[in-house]
């Protein structure tokens, strides 16, 4: 297979798409503008860099994110398998060592002789070479303008936030204990506890802290899935105690004591010398992050290896712009994958890259479009991004997307899982290639 395909963007969706096409024999030109042009969120120039968190969410079979991973593995997904090889302990979640994960993805890409890796910014797709645009939510202004011109749509945006990372050796363990919620996951999480007085002090400082002034901020376009901790806190004094600081299911294993609020930290790498503050996405200024988060007793002397930041995330108005195969309606050979397409989340982006690649392959072989059954998370997301919405917004994997199963509530999620896996296996058997 000598056909050349362009994949623009070496993030999660672009790398998955490239790997799917490479193993099918296509020559793939994979473009990545970093390091020549960096973004406001990336820290490296490596492919498949995880920006916001090192967690790919739950693997539990009764969760939508766990089902999505199972669907992807059934379809021969590359990045989920690679992620499993870069795993760090995170209870029931699939979390990875970011550096190792990027390295393994890069090694896999460069194991193919038919890969051409190009460090250049693509501002437009000027020829008829089939292409997948997978430049993510931080697509450059030039390429964004090109997409707007060919689709006739101005698109939308929201603001996304990243949580801080602290040095493990700087954490005061006398105010912390290891353990997962309800005893799950062993020592995967480090729990920083607070009593009511400590929490009240932290809360009052958090809601009054100075935030970074955002450029081009219009209205309240903040994605609920990555809500800044200070924005959530302003919804009410107990809002974060029922969210990322919820103490439910967490007891000190030595004393049995329960606490008023608990901040959880998750390992950032396999060495275990860095921890991510779970749920602490933030837009506070760096000095304010240091001051306010250090009010958490276990973090009173914390060394911040990375402060949280907030950045603009762009996405197209997918129902107007894309069909269910992720192809741009106005262009014959051009697809959009990843968060730019209107899916939200790491694994969802991987899924869109896989499906876009499979559909580009099908198009070149003059086969039917590949749209998975509506009973699968992937198929439901394909329909979501291509169906009319009064106000389209990015979507995570969730069971509300699936056709309802009227059964006992405790059994329903397992039924969703069983139905999806059965349907996706039967669907795969019918594929002509």
Residues 68, 389: Cα–Cα separation, whole Å: 23
Residue 234 CB neighbour total at 10 angstroms? 14
Taking only the tens of pLDDT, the chain with its 433 residues reads 569 999 999 999 999 999 999 999 999 999 999 988 877 677 788 999 998 789 999 999 889 999 999 999 999 999 999 999 999 989 889 999 999 999 999 999 999 999 999 999 999 998 789 999 999 888 888 998 999 898 887 666 777 788 999 999 999 999 999 998 887 767 789 999 999 999 999 999 999 999 987 654 444 555 566 789 999 999 999 999 999 999 999 999 989 999 999 999 999 888 888 899 999 999 999 999 999 999 999 999 999 988 998 877 789 999 999 999 999 999 989 999 999 999 989 999 999 999 999 999 999 999 999 999 999 999 999 999 999 887 787 888 989 899 999 888 779 999 999 999 999 999 999 887 6
Pair of tokens at residue 237:
């004094």
Residues 327, 335: Cα–Cα separation, whole Å: 4
Fold category of 4-158+313-430 in CATH: FAD/NAD(P)-binding domain (3.50.50)
Residues 414, 301: Cα–Cα separation, whole Å: 45
Confidence at residue 335, expressed as pLDDT on a 0 to 100 scale: 98
Residues 356, 132: Cα–Cα separation, whole Å: 7
Strand, helix or coil for residue 426: helix
Residues 149, 263: Cα–Cα separation, whole Å: 46
Confidence at residue 218, expressed as pLDDT on a 0 to 100 scale: 43
State pTM to two decimals.
0.78
133 close to 334: Cβ distance less than 8 angstroms: yes
61 close to 94: Cβ distance less than 8 angstroms: no
Domain(s) of CATH 2.40.30: residues in the chain: 165-308
Residues 83, 100: Cα–Cα separation, whole Å: 9
List C-alpha distances in Å: 81 to 6, 189, 268, 318, 347.
24, 23, 19, 29, 12
Fold category of 165-308 in CATH: Elongation Factor Tu (Ef-tu); domain 3 (2.40.30)
Domain(s) of CATH 3.50.50.60: residues in the chain: 4-158+313-430
Confidence at residue 285, expressed as pLDDT on a 0 to 100 scale: 94
Confidence at residue 188, expressed as pLDDT on a 0 to 100 scale: 82
Confidence at residue 355, expressed as pLDDT on a 0 to 100 scale: 98
Which residue, chain included where needed, has tokens 């606490």? 259
Strand, helix or coil for residue 363: helix
Residues 15, 169: Cα–Cα separation, whole Å: 34
Confidence at residue 38, expressed as pLDDT on a 0 to 100 scale: 77
Q: Is residue 83 within a helix (H) or strand (E), and if so which, with residue range?
A: helix 79-84
Q: Is residue 266 within a helix (H) or strand (E), and if so which, with residue range?
A: strand 261-267
């Amino acid at each position: 297979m000598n056909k050349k395909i362009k994949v623009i963007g070496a993030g999660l969706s672009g790398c998955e798409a490239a790997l799917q096409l490479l193993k099918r024999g296509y020559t793939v030109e994979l473009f990545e503008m970093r390091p020549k042009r960096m973004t406001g969120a990336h820290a490296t120039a490596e492919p498949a860099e995880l920006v916001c968190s090192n967690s790919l969410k739950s693997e539990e079979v009764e969760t939508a994110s766990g089902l999505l991973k199972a669907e992807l593995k059934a379809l021969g997904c590359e990045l989920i398998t690679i992620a499993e090889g870069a795993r760090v302990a995170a209870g029931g979640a699939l979390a990875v060592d970011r550096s190792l994960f990027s390295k393994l993805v890069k090694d896999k890409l460069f194991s193919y002789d038919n890969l051409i890796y190009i460090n250049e910014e693509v501002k437009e797709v000027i020829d008829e070479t089939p292409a997948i645009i997978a430049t993510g939510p931080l697509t450059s202004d030039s390429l964004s303008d090109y997409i707007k011109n060919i689709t006739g749509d101005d698109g939308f945006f929201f603001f996304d936030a990243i949580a801080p990372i602290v040095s493990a050796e700087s954490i005061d363990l006398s105010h912390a204990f290891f353990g997962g919620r309800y005893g799950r996951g062993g020592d995967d999480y480090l729990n920083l506890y607070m009593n009511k007085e400590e929490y009240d002090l932290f809360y009052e400082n958090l809601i009054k802290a100075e935030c970074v002034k955002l450029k081009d901020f219009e209205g309240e376009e903040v994605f609920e899935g990555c809500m800044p901790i200070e924005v959530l806190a302003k919804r009410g004094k107990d809002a974060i105690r029922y969210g990322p600081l919820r103490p439910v299911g967490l007891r000190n294993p030595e004393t049995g004591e329960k606490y008023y609020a608990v901040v959880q930290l998750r390992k950032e790498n396999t060495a275990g010398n860095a921890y991510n503050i779970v749920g602490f996405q933030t837009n506070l200024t760096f000095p304010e992050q240091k001051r306010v988060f250090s009010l958490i007793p276990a973090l009173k002397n914390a060394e911040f290896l990375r402060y949280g930041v907030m950045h603009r995330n762009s996405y197209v108005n997918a129902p107007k712009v894309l069909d269910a195969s992720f192809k741009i309606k106005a262009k014959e050979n051009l697809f959009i994958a990843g968060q730019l397409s209107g899916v939200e989340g790491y694994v969802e982006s991987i899924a869109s890259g896989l499906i876009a690649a499979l559909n580009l392959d099908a198009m070149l072989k003059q086969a039917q479009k590949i749209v998975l059954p509506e009973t699968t998370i992937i198929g439901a997301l394909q329909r979501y991004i291509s169906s009319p919405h009064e106000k389209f917004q990015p979507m995570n994997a969730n069971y509300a997307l699936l056709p309802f199963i009227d059964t006992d509530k405790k059994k329903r999620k397992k039924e969703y899982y069983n139905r999806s896996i059965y349907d996706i296996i039967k669907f795969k058997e019918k594929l002509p290639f």
